[in-house]
Amino acid sequence: MKKHLLSFAVVALMGAATATSASAQAKMVAGTVSVGGEAMYPTKNIVENAVNSKDHTTLVAAVKAAGLVETLQGKGPFTVFAPTNAAFNALPAGTVETLVKPESKATLTKILTYHVVAGNMTSDKIMAAIKAGKGAASLKTVSGGTLKAMMNGPKNIVLVDEKGGVSTISTYDVTQSNGVIHVIDKVLMP
Protein backbone atom coordinates (compact mmCIF):
# COMPACT_ATOMS: atom_id res chain seq x y z
CA MET A 1 0.00 0.00 0.00
CA LYS A 2 2.82 2.43 0.89
CA LYS A 3 4.53 1.62 -2.45
CA HIS A 4 1.34 2.54 -4.33
CA LEU A 5 0.94 5.81 -2.41
CA LEU A 6 4.61 6.67 -3.03
CA SER A 7 4.27 5.87 -6.74
CA PHE A 8 1.11 7.96 -6.93
CA ALA A 9 2.88 10.90 -5.22
CA VAL A 10 5.85 10.72 -7.63
CA VAL A 11 3.53 10.59 -10.66
CA ALA A 12 1.51 13.52 -9.29
CA LEU A 13 4.67 15.59 -8.73
CA MET A 14 5.95 14.80 -12.20
CA GLY A 15 2.63 15.83 -13.67
CA ALA A 16 2.68 19.10 -11.75
CA ALA A 17 6.25 19.81 -12.89
CA THR A 18 5.30 19.10 -16.51
CA ALA A 19 2.25 21.36 -16.24
CA THR A 20 4.38 24.14 -14.75
CA SER A 21 6.97 23.73 -17.51
CA ALA A 22 4.26 23.80 -20.19
CA SER A 23 2.77 26.88 -18.54
CA ALA A 24 6.16 28.62 -18.54
CA GLN A 25 6.69 27.72 -22.19
CA ALA A 26 3.24 29.02 -23.08
CA LYS A 27 4.25 32.37 -21.56
CA MET A 28 7.36 32.59 -23.77
CA VAL A 29 7.04 35.37 -26.29
CA ALA A 30 7.47 34.55 -29.97
CA GLY A 31 10.99 35.46 -31.06
CA THR A 32 12.51 34.90 -27.62
CA VAL A 33 16.12 33.69 -27.77
CA SER A 34 18.25 32.29 -24.95
CA VAL A 35 21.53 34.14 -24.34
CA GLY A 36 23.76 33.36 -21.39
CA GLY A 37 21.20 30.82 -20.22
CA GLU A 38 18.45 33.42 -19.93
CA ALA A 39 15.54 34.38 -22.16
CA MET A 40 15.96 37.59 -24.14
CA TYR A 41 12.47 38.94 -24.73
CA PRO A 42 11.76 40.99 -27.86
CA THR A 43 9.39 43.13 -25.76
CA LYS A 44 12.27 44.37 -23.56
CA ASN A 45 14.98 46.85 -24.50
CA ILE A 46 18.68 46.12 -24.94
CA VAL A 47 19.66 46.91 -21.35
CA GLU A 48 16.67 45.12 -19.77
CA ASN A 49 17.68 41.94 -21.58
CA ALA A 50 21.47 42.24 -21.29
CA VAL A 51 21.42 42.49 -17.49
CA ASN A 52 19.96 38.96 -17.37
CA SER A 53 22.64 37.31 -19.54
CA LYS A 54 25.29 35.51 -17.48
CA ASP A 55 27.56 35.77 -20.55
CA HIS A 56 27.45 39.58 -20.61
CA THR A 57 28.09 40.73 -17.04
CA THR A 58 31.33 42.48 -18.05
CA LEU A 59 29.60 44.26 -20.93
CA VAL A 60 26.80 45.42 -18.62
CA ALA A 61 29.33 46.69 -16.05
CA ALA A 62 31.19 48.54 -18.81
CA VAL A 63 27.96 50.09 -20.16
CA LYS A 64 27.15 51.30 -16.64
CA ALA A 65 30.69 52.68 -16.11
CA ALA A 66 30.48 54.55 -19.44
CA GLY A 67 27.10 56.03 -18.58
CA LEU A 68 25.44 54.47 -21.63
CA VAL A 69 22.51 52.74 -19.89
CA GLU A 70 20.03 55.51 -20.65
CA THR A 71 21.15 55.70 -24.28
CA LEU A 72 20.77 51.96 -24.87
CA GLN A 73 17.36 52.05 -23.22
CA GLY A 74 16.33 54.77 -25.68
CA LYS A 75 14.07 54.45 -28.70
CA GLY A 76 16.76 53.38 -31.16
CA PRO A 77 16.76 51.30 -33.17
CA PHE A 78 20.26 50.10 -32.39
CA THR A 79 22.25 47.12 -33.59
CA VAL A 80 24.60 45.99 -30.82
CA PHE A 81 27.48 43.59 -31.39
CA ALA A 82 27.72 42.28 -27.83
CA PRO A 83 31.05 40.74 -26.73
CA THR A 84 30.80 37.93 -24.18
CA ASN A 85 32.65 37.80 -20.87
CA ALA A 86 35.13 35.44 -22.53
CA ALA A 87 35.79 38.10 -25.19
CA PHE A 88 36.61 40.67 -22.50
CA ASN A 89 38.72 38.08 -20.62
CA ALA A 90 40.82 37.59 -23.77
CA LEU A 91 42.00 41.22 -23.61
CA PRO A 92 45.45 41.82 -22.08
CA ALA A 93 45.51 41.54 -18.28
CA GLY A 94 44.29 44.68 -16.54
CA THR A 95 42.58 46.17 -19.61
CA VAL A 96 39.01 45.87 -18.36
CA GLU A 97 39.94 47.07 -14.88
CA THR A 98 41.62 50.14 -16.38
CA LEU A 99 38.75 50.89 -18.78
CA VAL A 100 36.05 50.96 -16.08
CA LYS A 101 37.93 53.57 -14.03
CA PRO A 102 36.33 57.05 -14.11
CA GLU A 103 39.40 58.57 -15.75
CA SER A 104 39.03 56.12 -18.69
CA LYS A 105 35.36 56.91 -19.36
CA ALA A 106 35.99 58.61 -22.75
CA THR A 107 38.05 55.66 -24.02
CA LEU A 108 35.53 53.12 -22.71
CA THR A 109 32.66 55.05 -24.31
CA LYS A 110 34.46 55.08 -27.67
CA ILE A 111 35.10 51.32 -27.51
CA LEU A 112 31.52 50.50 -26.50
CA THR A 113 29.88 52.79 -29.08
CA TYR A 114 32.17 51.17 -31.68
CA HIS A 115 30.05 48.05 -31.05
CA VAL A 116 26.82 49.87 -31.94
CA VAL A 117 25.39 50.64 -35.38
CA ALA A 118 22.35 52.90 -35.81
CA GLY A 119 19.37 51.03 -37.22
CA ASN A 120 18.08 47.49 -37.08
CA MET A 121 20.73 45.45 -38.91
CA THR A 122 19.47 41.88 -38.84
CA SER A 123 21.73 39.13 -40.16
CA ASP A 124 19.73 39.12 -43.43
CA LYS A 125 20.40 42.84 -43.90
CA ILE A 126 24.09 42.43 -43.10
CA MET A 127 24.39 39.50 -45.53
CA ALA A 128 22.57 41.51 -48.24
CA ALA A 129 25.01 44.42 -47.69
CA ILE A 130 27.96 42.01 -47.94
CA LYS A 131 26.57 40.59 -51.19
CA ALA A 132 25.94 44.08 -52.59
CA GLY A 133 29.51 45.02 -51.61
CA LYS A 134 30.85 42.00 -53.50
CA GLY A 135 32.13 40.27 -50.37
CA ALA A 136 32.38 43.05 -47.79
CA ALA A 137 30.17 45.70 -46.25
CA SER A 138 31.20 48.80 -44.30
CA LEU A 139 29.13 49.43 -41.20
CA LYS A 140 29.32 52.94 -39.72
CA THR A 141 29.38 52.74 -35.92
CA VAL A 142 27.88 55.21 -33.45
CA SER A 143 31.44 56.11 -32.39
CA GLY A 144 32.12 57.32 -35.94
CA GLY A 145 34.33 54.36 -36.83
CA THR A 146 33.81 51.64 -39.40
CA LEU A 147 33.46 47.88 -39.11
CA LYS A 148 33.92 45.63 -42.10
CA ALA A 149 31.44 42.74 -42.32
CA MET A 150 32.35 39.68 -44.39
CA MET A 151 31.26 36.10 -44.75
CA ASN A 152 33.34 33.21 -43.41
CA GLY A 153 31.61 30.30 -45.08
CA PRO A 154 28.02 30.29 -46.25
CA LYS A 155 26.38 31.31 -42.98
CA ASN A 156 29.01 32.88 -40.69
CA ILE A 157 29.38 36.64 -40.53
CA VAL A 158 32.68 38.03 -39.25
CA LEU A 159 33.47 41.60 -38.31
CA VAL A 160 36.87 43.17 -38.86
CA ASP A 161 37.71 46.19 -36.73
CA GLU A 162 39.94 49.13 -37.70
CA LYS A 163 42.97 47.44 -36.10
CA GLY A 164 42.47 44.23 -38.10
CA GLY A 165 40.94 42.23 -35.24
CA VAL A 166 38.35 39.66 -36.32
CA SER A 167 35.23 38.74 -34.37
CA THR A 168 32.67 36.09 -35.27
CA ILE A 169 28.97 36.44 -34.60
CA SER A 170 27.99 33.41 -32.52
CA THR A 171 24.32 34.23 -31.91
CA TYR A 172 22.35 36.17 -34.49
CA ASP A 173 19.22 38.30 -34.42
CA VAL A 174 18.36 38.60 -30.73
CA THR A 175 15.39 40.93 -31.24
CA GLN A 176 14.89 43.76 -28.74
CA SER A 177 12.14 46.36 -28.45
CA ASN A 178 14.66 48.99 -29.57
CA GLY A 179 16.84 47.04 -31.99
CA VAL A 180 18.78 43.82 -32.30
CA ILE A 181 21.76 42.19 -30.59
CA HIS A 182 24.32 39.91 -32.23
CA VAL A 183 26.58 38.09 -29.75
CA ILE A 184 30.28 38.20 -30.73
CA ASP A 185 33.38 36.37 -29.54
CA LYS A 186 35.95 39.22 -29.52
CA VAL A 187 36.01 42.83 -28.37
CA LEU A 188 36.21 45.16 -31.37
CA MET A 189 38.74 48.01 -31.22
CA PRO A 190 38.40 51.36 -32.98
Q: Does domain 33-184 have CATH number 1.10.10.10?
A: no
Residue 2 has pLDDT above 60, yes or no: no
For helices 105-113 and 57-66, angle between their N-to-C axes, nearest 10 degrees: 120
pLDDT tier for residue 29 given thresholds of 50, 70 and 90 = low
Quote the mean pLDDT of the chain: 87
pLDDT tier for residue 34 given thresholds of 50, 70 and 90 = confident
> Which residues, in sequence order, are CB contacts of 10 under 8 Å at separation 6+?
none
pTM of this structure: 0.83
pLDDT tens per residue across span 108-127 = 999 999 999 999 999 999 99
Task: Pick 34 or 94 by higher pLDDT.
Answer: 94
Q: Domain coordinates of the chain in residue numbers?
A: 1-30, 33-184
pLDDT tens per residue across span 128-172 = 999 999 999 999 999 999 999 999 988 899 999 999 999 999 999
Strands 38-40 and 78-83: unpaired
Say how far apart CA 133 and CA 112 lie, in whole Å.
26
Per-residue pLDDT averaged across 63-83, rounded? 96
- Residue 180's DSSP bridge partners are 79, 175
Give the closest residue to 71 by CA, choosing from 169, 151, 142: 142
